[in-house]
Structure 1
Amino acid sequence: MKLKMISWNVRGLNDPQKRLVVRNLLRKWKCDIVCLQETKLAGLDRQLVCSIWGCPYMDWVALDANQIAGGVLIMWDRRIIEKLEVLVGLFSVFVQWKGVADGFIWACSGVYGPNDNRLRGALWDEVVFISFGMFLDLPLERGRYTWSSGTDQPFMSRIDRALVSHEWEHHFPDMIQRILPRTVSDHFPILLEAGGMARGKSPFRFENMWLKTDGFVDRVESWWNRHSFSGTPSYVFAKKLKALKDDIIQWNCQEFGNVGRRKKELLGVLEVLDAKEGVLGLTKTEKEERNEARSQVEHLLSLEEISWRQKSRMLCIKEGDNNTKFFHKMANSHRGLNHLSFLEVDGMIYEDGAEVAAQVVQFYKTLYQESEEWRPFVEGLEFDQIEELERGWLEREVRER
């Protein structure tokens, strides 16, 4: 699932012209959820909120500013998420949502801390849920700081953060966090985007979980033996490997199938049977069907753990200890670190996936392209050779004494 969230300290929205600029930027960024801090607005109505974000399916909740300071506004697209619960505190706004497409229930809290040190204690009492270890601070792309003084010798700091829970990261993989260009504030907007990592064609990788399938090794042996090619040994070996890869891919698609999809279907069957048992009871056949579904789910969970362990490259941890969630997090972490969101070449920045790929290909073409017009050759040179007796001595069979 794709999701785009913006968190931005706008430093006041009382100026209609500033609201117009913010509205145009939000339209350009095409976000699903917007959290604005330090709005310095009180008594917001729908007309005023619509002057900030023009989404026709928008809903919102706000914390009024205290005189000319503070204020938090959270807006969202009702086509993506639906509101379940709202809690407005002294320094924060808490909203619980349910995903329209997937039914996933989660919450978001927009917080703006006071500058008065005497109020810091009350702030931490209100946001006590932000405890150490519960939330992740994702790597920040496009920069190291979220605020700059804008002077000739600027002071810079990362005082704006977007924290996510482990469960939320598990549900929304491929999450990236990056700063956007700042225009009307000395704070940079922060973009959280799920599903924002562009993926090209995936290379073939052998899955260790295939080895847990009965008869897989025998299948591989039969596939290997049925292919015949002529040529040099290295050519024959390469062609048989390619043919074997095609056989495995076809078998994986047609027979083995997607583990996650199969697990979801079986869990749905178990849910129906469990519900029926509580109302009408189950027949002997249905009980056997439920036991078989439970056995298959257990097997699929084992395969899933093996797959995620392989992707995480955490081979020092033992399989079978219910570490699937940990392996999943490590694999997502590796994917995030390897993600290339933009590329700078000769002072120009490329962000489009196709342009980034083209520049990478061009770089290696140039790197390995031969530019020399002349190179030395070995034709006509005489080299020392070993005698026939010496060659036989080198090729003799080695035996133990």
Structure 2
Amino acid sequence: MGRFRAKLNRLELKEMYLNGRKFTWSNERENVTVEKIDHVFMTSDWEDLYPASFLSAVGSVISDHCPLLMDLHADFHMGRRFRFESFWPKAEGFMDTVALAWNSVPSFGNPFVVLDAKLRATAKRLQTWSDRWIGNVKLQITIALEVILRLDVASDSRQLSRGEQDLRRILKRKLLGLCSLERTIARQRSRLLYLKEGDVTTKFFFRHARQRQRRNIITSIKKEGEYLTGHESIAAAVDEYYESIFGSASERAYTINLDALDLPRLELSHLERPFMEDEVEKIVKGMPLDKAPGPDGFTGRFYASCWHIIKTDFMRAMNAFLSWGHAWPGIDKPSLGCSAAKNGWG
């Protein structure tokens, strides 16, 4: 296997991920033996030509090999999800946008419901702000390159005017910043956070992100003997399943008298003291900056950079958790990741 991998590296080939099956061959006997014999390999250039390619398996029918089906234009559309971009805190107007969105929701009532509403409002406002003031980075790069090319072609036959020269100079300077933003976005999508932005090219990050997408996508799900396809149908089935298994604890027939066991007693009152703001801030700012602890898309960088804005509401929720324990009045069932993605904010 090691020699085989070495040959692939020399040929600059990599294996395409097979979705839905671990093995592609069976000896069709009672004591079955299964192996992965069939593979599909691709080059990086081919992957760039077909970024939406998707490899899956179909039924083996009369053969002991399962046929492989290659879709060159698979539908990877998952609905628009909110993702906190790592470069946002450096952009002008970011803090003002967060403060405006966060304070737009009143801070009275159930602290957990309030916190959820504030995060939703902030996600929506940040997405609008990003679309308006930052926009589509890839599209801006394409436009800048096209305008620079046209000015270069014009300079072959005539002297550029002062305005054209200034425009070309400004576009080149802006292009450097846009390419840096694109590389930052690609690195965050790839999850290869141990690599610095200058270690590899932007294409490498985008290719790895596409590979992750192929591995993580769910194309169909079986529900009561019926196969469901499409993001909306799959999300609804997953939500329905998990909502059905959430329940309340029933009365226990027996209990344990811990006092009768005469167990040694420890002084644990310090575990019940209120949370201190400085210790919570230390934990928040110690989280991985570019990883999201939940399905809402907010990364540790958001909590660390905006802690001075959001800390009051977070401390209210944490102290309510300490006071109420498991009995949280006025809270509905927790929303699931699929519902969050389906609603466009998770």
Question: Same fold per TM (> 0.5)?
Answer: yes
1:72-91 equivalent positions in 2, closer than 5 A: none
Q: 1:150 to 1:237 in 2, by over 3 A?
A: closer
TM-score (norm 1): 0.53
| Residue 162 of structure 1 pairs with residue 46 of structure 2 | no
- Give the counterpart of 2:51 among 141, 165, 173: 173
Once the 2 structures are TM-superposed, how far is the Cα of residue 281 of structure 1 from its aligned partner? 3.9
- Distance apart, 1:300 and its partner CA: 0.8
Q: Distance in 1 between matches of 2:116 and 2:236?
A: 28
Change (3 A) 1:155 1:258: same
Tell me how far apart the structure 2 counterparts of residues 152 and 132 of structure 1 sit (CA, whole Å). 40
8 Å CA contact retained: 1:170, 1:328: no
- Between Structure 1 and Structure 2, the one with more strand by share is 1
State the alpha-carbon separation in 2 of the partners of residues 194 and 287 from structure 1: 43
Report the Cα distance in structure 1 between the residues aligned to 2:199 and 2:9, rounded to whole angstroms. Answer: 27
**Range with greater deviation from structure 2 (334-343 or 251-260):** 334-343
1:257 to partner: Cα distance: 0.8
Query: Which one has a bigger Cα radius of gyration?
Result: 1
Where does residue 264 of structure 1 map in the other structure? 142
Specify every segment of 5 or more residues in structure 1 that has no aligned partner in the other structure, as ranges: 1-128, 377-389
| 1:310 and 2:183 aligned | no
Corresponding letter in the other structure for 1:312: S
The residue identity in structure 2 corresponding to 1:181 is G
Given the alignment of the two structures, is residue 337 of structure 1 paired with residue 223 of structure 2, yes or no?
Answer: no
Partner residue of 1:141?
19
Partner Cα distance (2:107, 2:92) in 1:
32
Cα distance in structure 2, aligned partners of 1:322 and 1:201: 29
Matches within 5 A, 1:186-205: 187-205=65-83
TM-score, structure 2 normalization:
0.60
Q: CA deviation at 1:355?
A: 4.3
| Structure 1 residue 154: Cα displacement | 7.2
On the 8 A contact 1:148/1:155 being kept in 2, the answer is yes
1:292 corresponds to which of 151, 155, 170: 170
Q: Whose RCO is larger (CA < 8 A, sep 6+)?
A: 2
Among the aligned pairs, what percent are the same residue? 27
The 1-side partners of 2:76 and 2:202 are apart by: 24
Deviates further, 203-212 or 153-162: 153-162
Alignment of 1:2-401 (within 5 A): 132=10, 134-147=12-25, 158-183=36-61, 187-224=65-102, 227=104, 229=106, 231-232=108-109, 234=111, 235-344=113-222, 348=225, 350-353=227-230, 354-370=232-248
- The question of whether the paired residues in 1 share the 8 Å contact of 2:97 and 2:125 is answered with no
- In 1: Cα distance, 2:228 partner to 2:11 partner: 33
Structure having the higher helix fraction is 2
Structure 1 stretch 174-183 or stretch 145-154: which is displaced more? 145-154
Q: Is the 8 A contact 2:24 2:35 kept in 1?
A: yes
Do the aligned residues in 2 keep the contact of 1:148 with 1:156 (CA within 8 Å)? yes
